[in-house]
Amino acid sequence: MQVPLKVLAPQIEKAKLVLITGHYGSGKTNFSVNLAVRAAQEGADAAIVDLDIVNPYFRTADFRQLFEEKGIKLIAPDFANSNLDIPSIQFDVVQLAMNEDRLIIDVGGDDAGAFALGRYAADLAQFADEIEMLCVINQRRTLTATADDAVSLMYEIETAARMKHTGIVNNTNLGCETTLDIIDSSRSFADEVCRRTGLPLVYTVYPESCADLTNAPDAFEAKIYVKPIWEI
C-alpha cells in the first residue's frame, strides 16, 4: 500500500540522509543537485557527496561553483572533475551526517556504482531512522524501459549497497525533448514498479518547461543542471 504523497514527500525532504541511486543516465545526478539546492534554499545546512567513482561524466563534482554560491558543501572523490580518472573516496560519513542538517549522497550508476556505498553500510546503520534511499527510474532508458528491468536493477543495487530502498522517483525524460505527455505516459510504468517492490512513489520529476502544465500532487519541479554536450 502506498503512503499518501502529501505525507511522504515532506518526510523525504526532512530526512537527515538521502541516498540517490539509479541506472546510468536515469537523471539521478540532476535530481541530487536539485534536492541539495532546495534544501539550501529552505535554510538547511546541506552537503552533497559525489560517490560516483564509475562514470567520469555528469558528476555532482562538476557543479562545484553552483554549490559554493548556494552555500552547499561538496565532498567529491580525489581527482573528480579532472582528467585523472582513478578516483578514491576519503570522508567520514558519520561525522558529516552529524554536522549537516541534510546530507545527500549521489551514488554511482547501477550495482557497480553502489558497491562504493556498500562500504559505508555499517556506519550508516546508526542513522537507520533518518535515512531515505531513493531509486531514480527513467522509462526512456533502454535498459530500464520495462518494470521488470527497472525492478531487477533496483535489487542489484540493493545487494551491492547492502541497504534497502525506501522510495521511487520517476524521472522519465528525453532531455530537452521531454514533454508533458512523455512524463504522464510513464505513470503506469512507475506505478507498476511501485506495486512490484511495495515502495511508494515519492516524486514524479517535471522540468521547469513542463512544471506549470501539471497539478500532479507528486510533481517535483527540477532545473536542468546536467546536460549532454550537444545541449550545452
For residue 2, the model assigns a pLDDT of 43
The predicted pLDDT at position 150 comes to 98
**Domain residue extents for the chain:** 5-76+87-231
Run means of pLDDT, 10 residues per run, the chain, 232 residues: 47 83 92 94 92 65 88 78 52 87 90 88 92 97 96 96 96 94 98 97 95 93 80 56
Architecture of domain 5-76+87-231: 3-Layer(aba) Sandwich (3.40)
Q: Which of 101, 51, 52, 92 is nearest to 72 (CA)?
A: 101
User: Which residue is it, cell 545527500?
Assistant: 104
Determine the pLDDT at residue 13. Answer: 66
**C-beta of residue 187 within 8 angstroms of C-beta of residue 217:** no
How many whole angstroms separate alpha carbon 143 and alpha carbon 115?
20
* Predicted model pTM: 0.89
List residues bridging with 134 in a β-sheet: 20, 167
In the block, which residue shows the cell 559525489?
50
- pLDDT of 228: 65
What would the DSSP string read from start to end of the chain? -PPPHHHHHHHHHH-SEEEEEE-TTSSHHHHHHHHHHHHHHTT--EEEEEE--S-SSS-GGGGHHHHHHHT-EEE--BTTTSS----B----HHHHHHH-SEEEEEEPSHHHHHHHHHTTHHHHGGGGGGEEEEEEE-TTSGGGSSHHHHHHHHHHHHHHHTS---EEEE----GGG--HHHHHTTHHHHHHHHHHHT--EEEEEEEHHHHTT---TTEEEE------GGG-
Are the CB atoms for 47 and 102 separated by under 8 Å? yes
Question: What is the arrangement of strands in the sheet containing 17-22, beginning at the earlier edge strand?
Answer: 73-75, 46-51, 102-107, 17-22, 131-137, 167-170, 201-207, 219-222
